[in-house]
Structure 1
Amino acid sequence: MGALSERRAARYGFSTAAILLGGLVLASCQSGPAVDLANVDVAQASTENISSLTQVVSANPQDPEAYNVRGSAYGRGGRYQQALKDFDTAISLNPNFYQAYANRALIYRFMGDQNKAMADYNRALQINPSYDAAYIGRGNVYRQAGRTQEAFNDFQKAIQLDTTDARAYHNRGLIYQGQGQHAYAIEDFSTAISLAPDASEPYNGRGLSYLAMKQEDNAFADFNMAIKLDAKNAEAWTNQALIYEQRGEKAKAAKSYREAVRLKPTYQPAKDGLSRTQ
C-alpha cells in the first residue's frame, strides 16, 4: 500500500498536467510556466533530449529556467547529482524560483535526504504559499516520518487550492484508509482515478477499502484493473490472490501469489499467501 510516488506519477500518465520539455525548450523564459519535475515524463530524460537541453543552457547561460528544465530531465533519468547541480544553478540565478526549490526537494527525497527535502519544500512555500506541488511533496515527507496529521494537513491544503494533481487525493485517501475511514478513502481514491485514469495504485488502494467494507466484487474489480494497468504491481497481485483464496479458488490464488513473489521476493504477505495455497 505504498504512496503513489512522483516517479510513478509520471510513468502512469498524469498527462493532463504533464509539460513537454520540447515546448519549454522553444519557450524557455521566466514568463512561461516553470517545469515541475513531478510532471515530467521519463521519456523526456533521453540522452538525445538532454543533449538538446544542454544546447539551450549553453545558449542561455543566465536563464534559470533552462537549468530547471534540464535538471528535471536529469532527475527523471536518475542522474541525481547532475540534477542537483542544475537546480542549484537555477536557484543561484533566481533565489525566488520556487519550482526549482520543489524540484530539488524531490531529488533529495529520491536520495533519502528528508531533512534537505523538507527545507526546500518549506522555502518553496515561503516564496509561494499557493504552490500545490510543494504541499504534496512536503506531505509525503511528513507521512514517511510518521507525522500523519501534518501530512494530512498538507494534502488537504493542496486540495483546497483546487489541485488537479491526483497524488493529493491518493495520499489523503491512504491516510483515511489507515484511520479506518474507508468511505472517505474510497471517495478520494475515486477522485484520484478520475484525474489519472491510467494510474494503477489508486485502484489498488480503493480495492483495499472496498474489501474492508466487505464489498468483495468491487474490490476484485479494482485489483484486476490495477493489474491491467501495471502488471508489475506485486501488491495488486497479492490482493487479487487474497480474494481468490477467500473464494476457495486455491489454484488461482497460488498463481497470483506466485507472480507477486516473483515481482517482489521480499513481500511477506505474498510469501505467506503462497505458503498457504500452493
Structure 2
Amino acid sequence: MAALTVGCCVALSSSITYSQQSKPAVDLKDPRIGRKIMVTKAGAQLRTPEATVWKGYLGEVFTVSLTNGEWLWIQEKGGWLWEKETIPFDAAIKLLTERIEKQKTGEHYHLRGVAYLAHEQYDRAIADFTESLRLQPRNAGALNNRGQTHYLKRAYKSAVEDYTAALGIDAQNPLVLNNRALAYIELNDINSALSDLQEALKLVPQYPEALNNRGVVYQKQRKFDEAIADFTEALKFDPKYIDALENRSFSYVQKADYANAVADLESAMKLNPSSYEAANDLAWILATSPDASVRNSKRALLLAKQACELTHYKQWNTLDTLAAAYAANGQFGDAKQWLATSLRFAPKEEKKRLQIHLDLVLAEKPVQD
C-alpha cells in the first residue's frame, strides 16, 4: 500500500477560500475552451462576483472550461481568471523566448524558467532561474522556483539552500516554508520539517498543503491521531484534496480502522477515477485486510488490474498488489508470476518484503503484511 503523499506548489502564492460558481454569460464555442494556460503573474486573482477564490502562483497551469471575453473560467478553482495574466501553455516557451530576444530582463528569464519547469525541462529551468538571479539577485520567487526544480531533480540539499536563501529575503513566506519542509522530509530531517510547517501554519492556518504535509510528518513519527486530525483539517478547506484523502486512509489502516480507510479511498477514486494510487491502495486493503467484513477478493482483483493497466504493468507496487489479489482468490500460479515480475522492478530496499510475500504464495497462503 502506498503512503505519505506530500503536497507542494511551484512559486509564490497565498491562500485560499472557496466560493460557489457564479452563472455568467459564456461562449461555449470559443476555441480556448479545453486548452491549458499558464499563469504569468504571481498572485493573479481567480474571482467570482462575490469573492476572490484563489490567488494563482507563477507558473500554475489550468485548463480553461468556459470563456467570457477576456475572462477564463477555471472549473477546478471555481473562479474567473483574467487572460492577460496568462499565456497559452503549449506556446509558453516560444513566446517567452521571443520576449527575451527583445529584452533580456530578470523577469523574462524567471518566467521562461517557470515555463521550462512546467514542461519538466529541469536543467533549462535552472539555467534560466540562475540568469534571472544574476540580473536580479534579491528575487525570492526565482530562488524558490530554482529550489523547487532542484527538489524535482532529487537534489534535496541544493533545494534547501535555495529555499533558505529565499527566506532570507522573504522570511514570512508560508509557501517557501512549506517547500523547504518537503525537502527536509526527503532528507529525513523531520524536526526541521515540522518546525517549518508549524511556522507556515501560524502565518496561514487555512493552508491545505501545509496541513497535509504536517500530517505526513506525524505519520513518520507514528502519531496517527495527530496525522488524521491534520488531514481532516486540510479536507475541510479543500474537500477535493486527493492526497489528504489517501494519506488519511493510510493512517486509518495503521489504526486498524479499515472501514474508514476504505471510505477515504472510495472518495478519492470518485474524485479522480484515473488515480492508480487510490485503486491500488483500495485493492490492497480489500485483498489483505485482517477484517473479514472489509475483504472483497473479487473487487480487489478488478481494482488491482485497473491500477496495473494505468501503470502499464511496470510499477512494482501495483504488481505486488495484483499478486496479493490473485492469492486472495486462490489463484496462486498467477500470484507467483506477478510477484516474480514485481521483484524484478522493485528497488533493493523493497525486495525483502516482496520475498516474504512470494514465500506465502509458494505455500499457497494469502498475502498479508
So what's the TM-score if we normalise by structure 1?
A: 0.82
CA contact (8 A) 2:336 2:358 kept: no
Partner amino acid for 2:227?
A
Q: Secondary structure at the match of 2:342?
A: helix
User: What's the counterpart of residue 229 of structure 1?
Assistant: 310
Deviation at 1:182, TM superposition (A): 2.8
User: What's the counterpart of residue 157 of structure 1?
Assistant: 233
Partner amino acid for 1:257?
L
CA RMSD of aligned residues (A): 3.0
Q: Does 1:200 align with 2:281?
A: no
Deviation at 1:159, TM superposition (A): 0.7
Partner amino acid for 2:176?
A
Q: 1:72 aligns with which of 143, 148, 162?
A: 148
Q: 1:217 aligns with which of 288, 298, 308?
A: 298
CA contact (8 A) 2:218 2:224 kept: yes
Partner amino acid for 1:276?
A
User: What's the counterpart of residue 13 of structure 1?
Assistant: none
Equivalent runs, 1:1-278 vs 2, <5 Å: 1-6=1-6, 23=38, 26-27=40-41, 33-34=56-57, 44=120, 46-211=122-287, 212=289, 213-230=294-311, 231-264=313-346, 265-268=351-354, 269-273=356-360, 275-276=362-363
Rounded Cα–Cα distance in structure 2 between residues aligned with 1:23 and 1:60: 23
Larger radius of gyration: 2
Rounded Cα–Cα distance in structure 1 between residues aligned with 2:358 and 2:118: 32
Partner amino acid for 2:325?
I
Q: Which one has the bigger helix percentage?
A: 1
CA contact (8 A) 2:332 2:362 kept: no
Summarize the Cα distance change of 1:243–1:29 in structure 2 as closer, same or farther, 3 Å threshold: closer
Partner amino acid for 1:33?
G
Rounded Cα–Cα distance in structure 2 between residues aligned with 1:152 and 1:137: 12
Summarize the Cα distance change of 1:205–1:28 in structure 2 as closer, same or farther, 3 Å threshold: same
Identical pairs, percent: 23
Deviation at 1:5, TM superposition (A): 3.1
CA contact (8 A) 1:244 1:252 kept: yes
Summarize the Cα distance change of 1:81–1:65 in structure 2 as closer, same or farther, 3 Å threshold: same
Rounded Cα–Cα distance in structure 2 between residues aligned with 1:59 and 1:81: 24
Summarize the Cα distance change of 1:42–1:33 in structure 2 as closer, same or farther, 3 Å threshold: closer
- Structure 1's unaligned 5+ residue stretches are 11-21
Summarize the Cα distance change of 1:104–1:246 in structure 2 as closer, same or farther, 3 Å threshold: closer
Of 81-90 and 129-138, more deviation after overlay is shown by 81-90
Summarize the Cα distance change of 1:113–1:138 in structure 2 as closer, same or farther, 3 Å threshold: same
So what's the TM-score if we normalise by structure 2?
A: 0.64
Q: Secondary structure at the match of 1:267?
A: helix
> Residue by residue, what CA displacement relative to the aligned partner does 1:20-52 show, whole Å, maximum 9, x if unpaired?
xx946x435798634699xx9796352112212
Summarize the Cα distance change of 1:183–1:36 in structure 2 as closer, same or farther, 3 Å threshold: farther
